[in-house]
Amino acid sequence: MSKLGTKVYELRTITVPREATKKAFEFFSSTKLPTPAGSKFIGAFGSTFENKPEFVAVWEHDSLDNPSLHQGESKAMEPLTKLGASEETVFLRSFPWIEPAFTNNAKPLLWEFRCYTLKAGQMANWAKVFQNGLEERKKYSSPAAIFYSEFGILNRIYHFWPYQNFENRFDVRNKALENPIWANTVRDTAPFLDEMKNTVLHRIDYKGDN
């Protein structure tokens, strides 16, 4: 198994027409997506809040040099293509100061998926400021993962934050912002940002073997 910091994560965002939302949810709950040896499928997540609903699938790879990495993929995704889906794929790494943890004892019902596009050359500055404040933020809740893009669209940061529901998210974020160290972190990272996007996701349980 690769050490933290050497693993590569594949994040695929699939956008479907609104009228295809139900069929897309059915696809992800009944289809086992191709996952080669040496890789792990972390999960699929879906949102219905967008004008064009988005679905996010995440894999963990020990190496991108695996020749079987994408074998059988086109055929497996064919039903989504027929629904008019479009895809965007990026390959990510986790920062060495936080290990991805998508599973815990309290199963979250809501996932906040945040995407930040940084100004060119500001990745190290953003990471230094954010890391210094993260331990204070974790007193209220911890992110499941914080990634940065390595291949695909660059200068991007991706966050996954689990919550029990919308009220839990609202309460936790408000309490965290009352902490002056975290409030300063939010303020001090803002100048490094070019764009921000926030999506509410729900994890899709695979039921194909039931």
Exposure string (b/e) for 64-100, b if CB count within 10 Å is 16 or more?
A: eeeeebeeeeeeebeebeebebeeeebbbbbbeebeb
pLDDT at position 51, please? 75
Show the low-confidence residues of the chain (pLDDT under 70).
1-5, 67-74, 104-106, 208-210
Domain total for the chain?
1
The CATH number assigned to the domain holding 171 equals 3.30.70.100
Distance CA 133, CA 65 (A): 35
pLDDT at position 77, please? 85
pLDDT at position 123, please? 97
* pLDDT above 90 as % of the chain: 73
- Is position 107 within any domain? yes
pLDDT at position 210, please? 45
- Is position 3 within any domain? no
Q: Tell me which amino acid residue 78 is.
A: E
Write the pLDDT tens digit of every residue in 4-21: 457 899 999 999 999 999
Q: Tell me which amino acid residue 177 is.
A: L
pLDDT at position 1, please? 35
Residue-range definition of the domain harbouring residue 160? 8-204
- Is position 56 within any domain? yes
- Is position 119 within any domain? yes
- Is position 196 within any domain? yes
- Within the chain, what is the greatest distance between any pair of CA atoms? 51
Nearest to 102 by CA among 44, 22, 152: 44
Report the DSSP pairing between strands 39-46 and 54-61: antiparallel
pLDDT at position 129, please? 98
- Is position 92 within any domain? yes
- Is position 125 within any domain? yes
- Is position 74 within any domain? yes
pLDDT at position 56, please? 95
